[in-house]
Structure 1
Amino acid sequence: MSSNDILPDIRLRAIEPEDLDLLYKIENDEMLWDVGVNNIYYSRYILHEYIANAKGDIYTDRQARLIIENDSHDVVGIVDIVDFDPRHLRAEIGIVIQNRYRHMGYAKAAIQHIIKYTKNILHLHQLYAYINSDNTNSIKMFNNAGFTQSAELKDWLYDGSKHHNAVIMQYFIKKNKI
C-alpha cells in the first residue's frame, strides 16, 4: 500500500465489556508476545477488571486502549496509547490488527486517527513505537505512516529462547502534516 492509496474508513472507540473476548484472544496470543512487553496469560477475570476499572481518562490511566472498527462495524483490531507523558508531551503507540484484516490499510488508518487525536486533543510532540527489528512488515507500515527509525536497541526483546534487536520508530507531530 503506497501513501497515495485510499485507506479504509475506520472508527476508533473506547473498549466496552463486550470486547472482552477479543481482548482475551489478543492478550493470550503467544505469537504477539514477541512484539510487546507482556508475556503472561491473562484470565478473563483480570481483563474484565481492567475494563471495569479503567477511568477512561488518559491523564489518570496514563494510557488509552481503543477498538478499531471498519465501516461495517466489524472490530478489526486494537490501538493502544501507553506510557503517556504529559510533561514531555509523548506517548508510545501499539497496534494489533486481527489476522483476517491485515494488509488492508487498517493499521495505517488507525495510526492517522491517533496522530490527529494526539495533536489536536492531547497536544503531544511525538509518538513512538518499539518494533522487533525482524518485523519488517511493521517497520514498513510505520514508515509509510510517517514514522522514522531513530535508534536500534541491541538484544532488547527476549522471546524465551533468543534476544532480538528492537528499533525505535518516532513521529514528530508538529513537524509533520497530517
Structure 2
Amino acid sequence: MERKQEAGVILRAMEPEDLDMLYHIENDRSLWNIASTNVPYSRYALHNYIADAKNDIYMDGQIRMMIENLAHEVVGVIDLVDFDPKHQRAELGIIIMKRFRRRGYAQAAISSLIEYARKVLHLRQIYAVVSVSNEVSQRCLASLGFIGDSVLKEWIYCDGHYQDARVMQFFV
C-alpha cells in the first residue's frame, strides 16, 4: 500500500516491525472499553495477522494502517472495519498512543483516511460508534464533519456497567 500523508501524519501499511506496537495496543486493557476487544492477543497471533493481511478491504473486510508523524514515529493505529461492500460503508476505529494525544494527530489521520476512502476505496459512508462520555472523540469527529444524533442505549459494557453510545456518520 502506498503511503498517505496529510497535515503532519503519514498513514502506511503495517510492517513486521510494528508487532511490538500492536502487541502493546491490543493488550492495553484501558483501551478495551472503546473497542470490542476483551481478550489479550499473543505475539504469535498478531504476527500472523500482520503477515496475512492483504491490505485490501475487499479481501480482508477491513483495512488497518499505522499512523506516523513526520518524524516517522508511530503515534497510533487507524482502521476501517465491518466493511459492507453492498452499502459501501465501514466503521472507523482509531487509537492514538497516550503520549501523542491532543496534538492533532487523530484529526489529521481521520482526515487523511477520509480522502483515501473517497479517492481509492470509493466508500459512501464512514461511521463511528463512540461512548457518549467520550466528548473529546465526539468533538474531533464533529470538527471533521461527522454528524450523529442517534444514541444506542446501553451499547458499551465497561467496568461492570453499560454506557450509551453515539453513532456518528460521515458521508464521503
Partner Cα separation in structure 1 for residue 28 and residue 136 of structure 2: 18
Counterpart amino acid of residue 27 in structure 1: E
1-side partners of 2:87 and 2:121: how far apart? Answer: 12
Distance 1:116 1:129 in 2: 16
C-alpha displacement of 1:130: 0.5
Which residue does the alignment assign to 1:83? Answer: 82
Name the amino acid aligned to 1:66: M
Distance in 1 (CA, whole Å) between partners of 2:111 and 2:129 is 18
Corresponding residue number in structure 2 for 1:163: 162
* Superposed counterparts of 1:5-84, under 5 Å: 8-84=7-83
Q: What whole-Å deviation, never above 9, does each CA across 1:96-139 have from its counterpart, x for those lacking one?
A: 00111101110000011111111111111110000111111111
Query: What is the alpha-carbon distance in structure 1 between the residues aligned to residue 133 and residue 159 of structure 2?
Result: 16
Contact 1:8-1:70 at 8 Å conserved across structures: no
Normalised by the size of structure 1, how large is the TM-score? 0.91
**Aligned-residue offset at 1:8:** 4.1
User: 1:150 offset after TM fit, Å?
Assistant: 3.5
Q: Distance in 2 between matches of 1:10 and 1:105?
A: 9
State the percentage of identical aligned residues.
50
Please list every run of at least 4 consecutive aligned residues from structure 1 whose deviation after the TM superposition is greater than 4 angstroms. none
Q: Is the 8 A contact 2:107 2:141 kept in 1?
A: yes
Structure 2 counterpart of 1:149? 148
Which position in structure 2 is the counterpart of 1:120? 119
| Higher strand residue share | 2
Partner Cα separation in structure 2 for residue 108 and residue 56 of structure 1: 22
Partner of 2:93: 94
Distance 2:37 2:8 in 1: 30
Give distance in 1, aligned partners of 2:140 and 2:10. 19
Aligned residue pairs, count: 167
Specify every segment of 5 or more residues in structure 2 that has no aligned partner in the other structure, as ranges.
Answer: 1-5
The Cα offsets for residues 62-104 of structure 1, whole Å up to 9 and x where unpaired, read as: 1011001111101111001111112101111110001111011
Q: Which runs of 5+ in 1 are unaligned?
A: 1-6, 174-178
C-alpha distance in 2, partners of 1:88/1:163?
29
Query: What's the RMSD between the two structures over aligned residues?
Result: 1.1
